[in-house]
């Protein structure tokens, strides 16, 4: 066991390279880390977001109703929230390359077993376990990006990187529905699992830990870009006590961000989890059309994150401010869907695109603002802490929205999402002036 723990330790620094070699290798290594983090996070979504698009077909085959499907989604959501915090803590203290590859292999294995299972409680357990293991995805990606990209670049590069989960989520919806239509619902888990196995091998080869582990200086020195409260004391990994009791638990602004994230995630997953089912039941869409709505949300989010990430850098890193601005029209978009009559599917899809463009702005910035409020040595733990509250919101949404829709109709469910979006905006407004710190 001790040997295994030592194997996961952060990669140690090696002697610094010559200045000419640093100039030659730094851009190449930055691209390498960004590429690996982008691919990894997209792939984690392909083996996590493949349940919702086939939930109706799986339910019909196995006798699950909406409430039962909601329980499965709720289980994986809270497990992912816990896993993101717990696994994020370990990610801050592990080699990103090894950690992320092992996480990918574990979630692939769970997908294989889930597809081969026909028992309800077995599905609840397996998808809950998958949610927890999926927590191994964000932490090493955020650790890598925060060590290889400087504070004034974070909005832009985290924005581009966050496209990965739109890409993965979009592909997951279409791929799962396509596989289920041709080979049955279990194939929606077998095919992504096979892809993830090959992805784990790629990540173990391609990912890097810190610049110092390959003989390069820290990113702040390389870019001459120091945070507000920087003290030139060198870089050291944090102890468990420092992580929790210096950077996380006493941080009042981090708590406000975490509370806001509850409502942000209710808004985020309302249409990702229930959009396909809503369109099929309320608007008469087909299985493929319902699955395509998820693709629209994810791909529209890409444009929102790139543009708003760039804007936040131009505003001096005031990312919470940009998040607040995005939440207001988002509430109007949710309300508008309730008034679109059946047979106007193109208009529903357009509004899904507006939702995707806006909702992923505060989702993306929840991780970046948590980094701005703490330290790059605590980013996995901080983002995991905020993410845990987000997935509490997803549990409320997964169970609550299904219950509201089943007992009071889809229009009532949509108005509940509107109210939650407004509450999230109010909480984000309290972080109006937050900027990156040391």
All structural domains of the chain, each given as residue ranges with its CATH number in brackets, are 22-218+247-429 (1.20.1250.20)
Q: What is the pLDDT of residue 349?
A: 87
Query: What single string gives the DSSP state of each residue in 168-230?
Result: HHHHHHHHHHHHHHHH-TTHHHHHHHHHHHHHHHHHHHH----GGGGT---HHHHHT---TT-
Rounded Cα gap, residues 250 and 373, in angstroms: 12
Q: What is the pLDDT of residue 5?
A: 66
3-state secondary structure 290-356: HHHHHHHHHHHHHHHHHHHHHHHHHCCCCHHHHHHHHHHHHHHHHHHHCCCCCCCHHHHHHHHHHHH
Pick from 147, 142, 173: nearest CA to 54: 173
Give the count of beta carbons closer than 10 Å to the beta carbon of residue 188: 28
Q: Note the pLDDT tens digit of each residue in 211-263.
A: 888 898 888 788 776 665 555 445 566 666 666 766 677 788 889 999 999 99
Rounded Cα gap, residues 24 and 432, in angstroms: 39
Contacts of 339 (CB under 8 A, 6+ apart): none
For the chain, how many helices (H) and strands (E)? 17, 0
Give the count of beta carbons closer than 10 Å to the beta carbon of residue 375: 21
- Region for 343 from its dihedrals, namely left if φ exceeds 0, alpha if ψ lies in -120 to 50, beta otherwise: left
Rounded Cα gap, residues 240 and 388, in angstroms: 18
Contacts of 119 (CB under 8 A, 6+ apart): none
Query: What single string gives the DSSP state of each residue in 2-26?
Result: HHHHHHHSPPPP-PPPPHHHHHHHH
Measured in whole angstroms, how far is the alpha carbon of residue 9 from the centre of its chain?
24
- Region for 316 from its dihedrals, namely left if φ exceeds 0, alpha if ψ lies in -120 to 50, beta otherwise: left
Token pair for 407: 């007992």
Pick from 172, 215, 189, 142: nearest CA to 42: 172
Query: Which phi and psi angles does 186 have, rounded to 5°?
Result: -60, -30
User: Helix H segments across 47-152?
Assistant: 55-62, 66-91, 96-115, 120-134, 138-148
**For residues 57, 297, 190 and 194, what is the CA-based torsion angle, rounded to 10 degrees?**
170
Handedness of CA 351, 352, 357, 359 (dihedral sign): positive
Query: What single string gives the DSSP state of each residue in 152-167?
Result: GGHHHHHHHHHHHHHH
**Helix (H) or strand (E) run with residue 93 in it:** none
**For residues 302, 303, 308 and 314, what is the CA-based torsion angle, rounded to 10 degrees?**
120
Token pair for 212: 């110092």
- Region for 409 from its dihedrals, namely left if φ exceeds 0, alpha if ψ lies in -120 to 50, beta otherwise: left
By CB atoms closer than 10 A (0-12, 13-18, 19+), residue 297 is buried
Q: Note the pLDDT tens digit of each residue in 341-400.
A: 877 888 888 999 999 999 988 988 887 787 777 766 677 788 888 888 988 887 788 778
SS3 230: coil
SS3 77: helix
Q: What is the pLDDT of residue 396?
A: 86
CB 313 within 8 A of CB 306: no
Distance set, CA 296 to CA 129, 170, 186, 217, 221 (Å)? 28, 7, 24, 41, 40
Q: What is the pLDDT of residue 233?
A: 45
Pick from 360, 369, 299, 376: nearest CA to 326: 360
With a cut of 50, list the residues of the chain below it in pLDDT.
232-233
Q: What is the pLDDT of residue 228?
A: 57
Token pair for 318: 């005031």
């Amino acid at each position: 066991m001790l040997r295994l723990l030592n194997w996961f330790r952060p990669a140690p620094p090696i002697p610094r390279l010559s200045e000419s070699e640093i100039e030659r290798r730094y851009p190449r290594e930055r691209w390498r880390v960004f590429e690996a983090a982008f691919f990894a996070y997209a792939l984690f979504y392909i083996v996590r977001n493949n349940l919702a698009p086939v939930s109706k077909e799986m339910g019909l085959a196995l006798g699950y109703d909406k409430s039962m499907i909601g329980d499965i989604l709720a289980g994986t959501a809270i497990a992912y929230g816990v896993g993101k915090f717990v696994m994020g803590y370990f990610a801050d203290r592990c080699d990103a390359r090894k950690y992320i590859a092992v996480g990918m292999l574990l979630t692939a294995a769970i997908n294989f077993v889930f597809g081969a299972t026909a028992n309800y409680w077995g599905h609840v357990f397996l998808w809950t376990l998958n949610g927890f293991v999926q927590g191994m995805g964000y932490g090493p990606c955020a650790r890598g990006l925060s060590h290889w990209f400087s504070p004034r670049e974070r909005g832009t590069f985290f924005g581009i990187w966050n496209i990965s989960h739109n890409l993965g989520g979009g592909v997951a919806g279409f791929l799962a529905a396509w596989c289920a239509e041709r080979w049955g619902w279990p194939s929606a888990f077998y095919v992504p699992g096979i892809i993830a196995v090959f992805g784990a091998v790629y990540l173990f080869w391609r990912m890097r830990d810190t610049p110092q582990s390959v003989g390069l200086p820290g990113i702040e020195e390389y870019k001459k870009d120091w945070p507000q409260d920087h003290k030139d004391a060198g870089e050291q990994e944090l102890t468990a006590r420092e992580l929790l009791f210096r950077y996380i638990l006493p941080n009042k602004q981090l708590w406000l961000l975490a509370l806001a994230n509850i409502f942000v995630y209710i808004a985020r997953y309302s249409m990702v989890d229930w959009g396909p089912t809503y369109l099929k039941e309320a608007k008469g869409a087909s299985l493929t059309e319902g699955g395509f709505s998820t693709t629209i949300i994810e791909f529209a989010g890409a444009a929102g994150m790139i543009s708003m990430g760039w804007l936040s850098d131009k505003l001096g890193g005031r990312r919470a401010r940009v998040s607040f601005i995005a939440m207001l029209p988002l509430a109007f978009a949710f309300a508008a869907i309730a008034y679109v009559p059946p047979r106007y599917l193109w208009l529903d899809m357009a509004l899904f695109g507006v939702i995707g463009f806006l909702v992923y702005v505060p989702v993306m910035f929840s991780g970046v603002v948590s980094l701005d409020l703490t330290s790059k040595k605590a980013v996995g733990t901080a983002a995991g802490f905020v993410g845990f509250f987000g997935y509490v919101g997803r549990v409320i949404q997964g169970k609550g929205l299904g219950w509201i829709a089943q007992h009071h109709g889809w229009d009532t469910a949509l108005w509940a999402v509107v109210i939650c979006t407004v509450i999230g905006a109010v909480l984000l407004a309290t972080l109006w002036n937050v900027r990156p710190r040391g």
